[in-house]
Chains A and B, each alone.
Chain A
């Protein structure tokens, strides 16, 4: 026996066979596909970027402890299938011959680093390469600073505590140390197995223990949550965001951009689905009336349609999800190595999104027309002119918008971003309504001013102008959809440009890549002369004195006065004070004023630290520099770009103020890779100075930014595709009525050339209007997003108007003519009948 399908399914199947519903399914599926493709891709990129960033932590998660980490944590991590490694770090003297230097000793267990790789060189200042394995027992790897400081070469012995090691390699890159190189002592890396032999690990020693873990995202997150509950005093968990603030900003911005693209794709998909469903429901007025005539109750019909639409949403969701998955695969394939990210496989999460989005889009935009459909009088079977009463119920529209809004917030992953985009969409819609309604009124007047000619180029535009006015709200609706499409594209372009520009400027070509410290006061002139002779330009040496802040405005400073960890650490440690006549180039005075020449009093304090420690303009600060007091009033607060790789200080005094204190000098400069030989000469001429190489750290950062930029560009392409889809849907939506109109015009004797000119004129007007609205709204929201969400400098871009108007004109004209292709070739009678 044949199983009878429910009536709703049978009706749906018939509509499918009739082809009617295929267009709708395809439109929604494509909308879902672009949404899902963005989500799939963003998900993979995000995880890849996370892993990439984690190489700079050497792990996905680190448990940092001031005492040995209990075995229970490690056992739990292993039980969860995570890879585990240990590091133990402390400061100790490293000795070689007569030389000795305070070094950061780091003992590592097999498996380290869990993410990324160390880099080593076979000799000082030689080309480096990724390291294989770790120092063997009895061996040590030392960085350039330690090697030059101790004057050791490969094969030389070096002593740490009671143990003796052979220098086996020069350590050139250690992701974990990142940009924090200034605060750290030179590095000596040894094998964990050798640690007991040093005899340095004793009760009371200041040692930092790290348990590193890495593995599947969910397993890591699970372990993180588990371990968080069991942290002991003196222990904390660090992930890359916490450990490397300079990377956090890049990742956060990239993530927000992906969120923005996803959100705008939701908006675009919604617009496309709306236009397609509008056409569908309008075509069902007759069917609804007929079925009511045949005795179906309103409730039953609503149920039938609801079931049909829900199944349709589910189908569109599944199909769209699959298409989206294919699309992102294809893009990844096209990109090949260009992205330079090892993308992890797609997670199933976006597929869930696809199904939810499919149902949400269909229901959100069919609920209002569906309820409207329910009010179609059955009398329509006798009188075609009867439609449903105008306007959907507020409740139905509200429910639909809430569904899309929910989807939007889900994709934004950031409440503020979601809210701003919703505000932008509403503003664009409102602007489109006002502009179009305002401009439509004078159109017939304009049309009448055109000369009375039958020439296609005159008659066509006249038909177009009066037509646009006659279909007032229909025109407005189309303009809204087109404006939203263009708005999304322009906004993504503007924010993308801001983002790429900020990354380019963060590590500009020629940014300092070498720091020289420990320059003694009597060497300043000689070092400057040496570097200038070697072709290094604009050499600035800053004096640097170490001092502890003892009182703010007369109140003694104690770590116990502060709640915040950072404030406690700052109150405890010594500051590097400096003195200069002019503010550093990238510093910005945000309060007070910089001192004039000749002034010898005052401090300029970095705004962030002032905020953390509660220092206000006008406060007197008392410092203790190795027993020598130094006091002064805060005369200005500065904003400092810490990511700029330039020498910067928290507290600065006027030039000459530090002259009485024990001090050294520091400088930074850019050295092209081909000229690293200069460094050997510098170290030979001034054996006490230390050269710090940040080239690797910068290269790493640049690499990350390149990759993030690639990802951002690709996501942009996806959204571009969706935008085009919306426009096509918006223009396709009126195809039926247009066919009928064209049929009538042709019956009345209009030539195809006239009609083609009419269509072109109509699309041109629509495109220009939508482009103008979109450019205005996008510039406004780009500014808001840059300043409020992305925290980026933003300069208005006048080109966006050209892009909006030109792009709107060309895109709408091209897609519009494509969407109406073939209509002009239909016999008029067929067109009239089809539209009847």
Chain B
């Protein structure tokens, strides 16, 4: 993944400027910075969820913004997994169904069995039939992890994955995330405030007022 010279303009305000870096396969990168420094904006651009006024994001040689909206969506479906601060599980669906969702969208044949395996690997084999409101925060984030890794992404993008969890549970989630990442060999890009989490990544990128300072 190569990121170069981005800038996301909102009116005349530049949220990000002169941000260039690359991420190698299997590498773990933390994007850190204070609130409002542009971390989440950067993550949105990396995922192709937002479009910059100038700049490029290249994934496996493919320029993300040379694709149209649907092309970017297809690329996301093929290569990316997501973990969010607020878990983003669909409230009406069970844990199993939440994990099955991206698999079904990708047209995977036996989505249920695969999803079950992934829930098993995050230690939730016995909670597959529970809905999000019946699970603790830590459990919900495990389901989100299972969902993110279910499609075997080449890149996992995580937005403050421990932001809504206590330190102990957050630690467990981080362990699990790194463990799964190691197994699958994906690149990991994490936006976080948490120094402990940032410290476990191979590299830290610090954003200040929209500029990369380290």
Q: Are B105 and A291 in contact (CB under 8 A)?
A: yes
How far in angstroms is the closest Cβ of chain A from B70?
A: 4
How far in angstroms is the closest Cβ of chain A from B186?
A: 16
Given contacts A18-B93, A290-B88, contact A295 B105 (CB under 8 A): yes
Q: Which of B158-182 contact A (CB under 8 A)?
A: 159
By a CB distance below 8 angstroms, the chain B residues around A296 are 73, 77, 105
Residues 6-19 of B, flagged 1 when their CB comes within 8 A of A and 0 if not, give: 00000000000000
* 10 cross-chain pairs, A with B, having the tightest CB-CB distances, nearest first: A295-B77, A18-B92, A297-B70, A294-B102, A379-B49, A378-B49, A295-B76, A20-B92, A379-B44, A379-B50
Question: Counting CB contacts under 8 A, is A798 at the interface?
Answer: no
A-B contact pairs, 21 of them (CB 8 A): A7-B105, A10-B104, A14-B97, A17-B92, A18-B92, A18-B93, A286-B90, A290-B88, A290-B90, A294-B77, A294-B151, A295-B74, A295-B75, A295-B102, A296-B105, A297-B69, A297-B74, A298-B69, A298-B70, A378-B73, A379-B50
By a CB distance below 8 angstroms, the chain B residues around A402 are none
For residue B101, which residue of chain A has the nearest CB? A294
Measured in the bound complex, the distance between the Cα atoms of B97 and A377 in whole Å is 23
Question: Counting CB contacts under 8 A, is A145 at the interface?
Answer: no
Q: Which of A1-57 contact B (CB under 8 A)?
A: 7, 10, 14-15, 17-20
Question: Counting CB contacts under 8 A, is A299 at the interface?
Answer: yes
Question: Counting CB contacts under 8 A, is B84 at the interface?
Answer: yes
- Which of the residues A287, A290, A297, A377 comes within 8 Å of B50, measured between beta carbons? A377
By a CB distance below 8 angstroms, the chain A residues around B92 are 14-15, 17-20
How far in angstroms is the closest Cβ of chain A from B82?
A: 6
Chain A contact residues, majority secondary structure: helix
Number of residues in B with C-beta < 8 Å to the partner?
A: 32
Q: Which of A361-386 contact B (CB under 8 A)?
A: 377-379, 381-384
Question: Counting CB contacts under 8 A, is B193 at the interface?
Answer: no
Measured in the bound complex, the distance between the Cα atoms of B130 and A2 in whole Å is 24
Measured in the bound complex, the distance between the Cα atoms of B101 and A377 in whole Å is 19
How far in angstroms is the closest Cβ of chain A from B69?
A: 7
By a CB distance below 8 angstroms, the chain A residues around B211 are none
- Which of the residues B40, B78, B93, B131 comes within 8 Å of A295, measured between beta carbons? B78
Question: Counting CB contacts under 8 A, is B91 at the interface?
Answer: yes
For residue A299, which residue of chain B has the nearest CB? B70
- Which of the residues A10, A286, A297 comes within 8 Å of B73, measured between beta carbons? A297
Measured in the bound complex, the distance between the Cα atoms of B92 and A18 in whole Å is 5
By a CB distance below 8 angstroms, the chain B residues around A15 are 92
Q: Are A293 and B40 in contact (CB under 8 A)?
A: no
Question: Counting CB contacts under 8 A, is A292 at the interface?
Answer: yes
- Which of the residues A286, A291, A297 comes within 8 Å of B101, measured between beta carbons? A291
Question: Counting CB contacts under 8 A, is B47 at the interface?
Answer: yes
Question: Counting CB contacts under 8 A, is B106 at the interface?
Answer: yes
Given contacts A7-B104, A382-B40, A382-B159, contact A293 B90 (CB under 8 A): no
Q: Are B88 and A286 in contact (CB under 8 A)?
A: yes
By a CB distance below 8 angstroms, the chain B residues around A382 are 40, 43-44, 49, 84, 159
How far in angstroms is the closest Cβ of chain B from A656?
A: 90
Known: A295-B78, A378-B49, A379-B49. 19 other contacts (CB 8 A): A7-B104, A14-B93, A18-B91, A18-B93, A19-B92, A286-B90, A287-B90, A290-B90, A294-B82, A294-B102, A294-B105, A295-B74, A295-B76, A295-B80, A297-B73, A377-B50, A379-B44, A381-B82, A382-B44
By a CB distance below 8 angstroms, the chain B residues around A378 are 47, 49, 73
- Which of the residues A295, A379, A381 comes within 8 Å of B88, measured between beta carbons? A381
By a CB distance below 8 angstroms, the chain B residues around A20 are 91-92
Q: Which of B49, B80, B106, B151 has the most CB of A within 10 A?
A: B49
Measured in the bound complex, the distance between the Cα atoms of B69 and A508 in whole Å is 74
For residue B147, which residue of chain A has the nearest CB? A294
Measured in the bound complex, the distance between the Cα atoms of B86 and A7 in whole Å is 26
Q: Are B90 and A381 in contact (CB under 8 A)?
A: no
For residue A17, which residue of chain B has the nearest CB? B92
How far in angstroms is the closest Cβ of chain B from A148?
A: 83
How far in angstroms is the closest Cβ of chain A from B107?
A: 9
How far in angstroms is the closest Cβ of chain A from B43?
A: 6
By a CB distance below 8 angstroms, the chain B residues around A377 are 49-50
Measured in the bound complex, the distance between the Cα atoms of B77 and A428 in whole Å is 48
By a CB distance below 8 angstroms, the chain B residues around A383 are 40, 44
How far in angstroms is the closest Cβ of chain B from A483?
A: 33
How far in angstroms is the closest Cβ of chain A from B68?
A: 9
For residue B109, which residue of chain A has the nearest CB? A4
By a CB distance below 8 angstroms, the chain B residues around A295 are 73-78, 80, 102, 105-106
Q: Are B44 and A292 in contact (CB under 8 A)?
A: no
Measured in the bound complex, the distance between the Cα atoms of B41 and A377 in whole Å is 13
For residue B75, which residue of chain A has the nearest CB? A295
Residues 90-134 of B, flagged 1 when their CB comes within 8 A of A and 0 if not, give: 111100010001101110000000000000000000000001000
By a CB distance below 8 angstroms, the chain B residues around A297 are 69-70, 73-74
How far in angstroms is the closest Cβ of chain A from B40?
A: 5
Measured in the bound complex, the distance between the Cα atoms of B91 and A18 in whole Å is 8
By a CB distance below 8 angstroms, the chain B residues around A381 are 49, 82, 84, 88
How far in angstroms is the closest Cβ of chain A from B86?
A: 8
How far in angstroms is the closest Cβ of chain A from B49?
A: 4
By a CB distance below 8 angstroms, the chain A residues around B93 are 14, 18
For residue A284, which residue of chain B has the nearest CB? B90
Given contacts A15-B92, A18-B92, contact A293 B104 (CB under 8 A): no
